[in-house]
Amino acid sequence: MISIMLIAGNWKMNYGLKELYDFSNTFKSFEPSKDIDLCIIPPFPIIKEAKHIFQETKINVGAQCCHYKLEGSFTGDVSPKLLSEIGCDYVITGHSERRSNHFETNAYVKNTVLSLINKNITPIICVGETQEEKRKGNTFNFIKKQVSESVPIINDALIVVAYEPIWAIGSGNIPSEEEIEKIHNLIREELNSIPYLKVIYGGSVNEKNCKEIFSIPSVEGALIGGASLNFKEFLAIYNSGVKYLNSFKR
Ligand code: 13P
């Protein structure tokens, strides 16, 4: 069954085994909701250990990127096949930091998604405009193109698209509720032939603003960088999502 929301913490190039065990301690009190999946996305070398320590829990583990090929002469790259073998649940592809520093183009991202699906891993596909595109009033067209070129139409597996405006990442600035709603709806319209689609928001999500972000109707979760490194805060964000969804049940 597909949950309603996904809350994922992208550790980026931070932390190691010590912090993984700290995380595990903080999340001893974690009460998983069937409505919201939780995922941590640590650096590659500790994914296997993370899978091991969370095997009896509902904590999912993801990777921050991977190659689209299943094997071959690609020094330093990691294959979706290997990630599947070690039990990886999610993989981010097309993060803006990978697009700008590691040449992950729209075509690369699309091919990676196809390989991930083939290996039963859920892709988290990032899209988002630069400050410059926003300034030019070009956000709508930019996202439309990025979505159509990066996301393959898949009808039998869950696809997660994360709207992460580049100018919002790590800056403390977030788009207005109306802007987020408009872009999420655009993404949904562009991909309306994908039956299992989740559109989540990323960029400066924290404990203070998460309630407001979760209450935007088209937001189905969050991809969190900085605030996911503070484990108590990350847990509080998860619990805020649970509280929000529970408020509809009464
Ligand atoms: P911040 O939450 O630090 O802005 O990072 C967002 C992000 O890039 C998650 O992938």
Residue whose Cα lies nearest atom 5 of ligand 1: it is 225
Quickly count: other Cβ atoms within 10 Å of residue 76's Cβ: 5
pLDDT in tens, 114-159: 999 999 999 999 999 999 999 999 999 999 999 999 999 999 999 9
Q: Does residue 200 surpass a pLDDT of 90?
A: yes
Nearest atom within ligand 1 for CA of residue 126: 10
Residue 192 has a CB neighbour count (10 Å cut-off) of: 10
The atom number, within ligand 1, closest to the CA of 203 reads: 4
How far apart are the CA of 250 and the centre of ligand 1, in A? Answer: 33
- Can you tell me whether residue 25 is helix, strand or coil? helix
CB 164 within 8 Å of CB 127: yes
Question: What is the pLDDT at residue 29?
Answer: 85
Q: In angstroms, rounded to a whole number, what is the distance separating the alpha carbons of residues 204 and 215? A: 16
Closest ligand 1 atom to the C-alpha of 204?
Answer: 4
The pTM score is 0.98
pLDDT for the residue 3: 86
The rounded Å distance from CA 118 to ligand 1 centre is 27
Query: Where in the sequence numbering do the catalytic residues fall?
Result: 95, 164
For ligand 1, atom 7: residue with the closest CA? 225
Quick: pLDDT tens for 207-222.
999 999 999 999 999 9
Which residues line the pocket of ligand 1, CB cutoff 6 A? 10, 95, 164, 169-170, 202-205, 223-227
pLDDT (tens digit, 9 = 90+) per residue, 44-62? 999 999 999 999 999 999 9
Q: What is the mean pLDDT of the chain?
A: 97
The sign of the CA dihedral 108, 113, 118, 122 is positive
Q: Considering only CA atoms, which residue is closest to atom 9 of ligand 1? A: 225
Q: Ligand 1: which atom is nearest the Cα of residue 223?
A: 9
Question: Cα of 178 to ligand 1 centre, how many Å?
Answer: 20
Cα–Cα distances (Å) from 249 to 119, 127, 219, 238, 245, in that order, read: 36, 32, 18, 17, 7
Expressed in angstroms and rounded, the spacing between residue 249 Cα and the centre of ligand 1 is 30
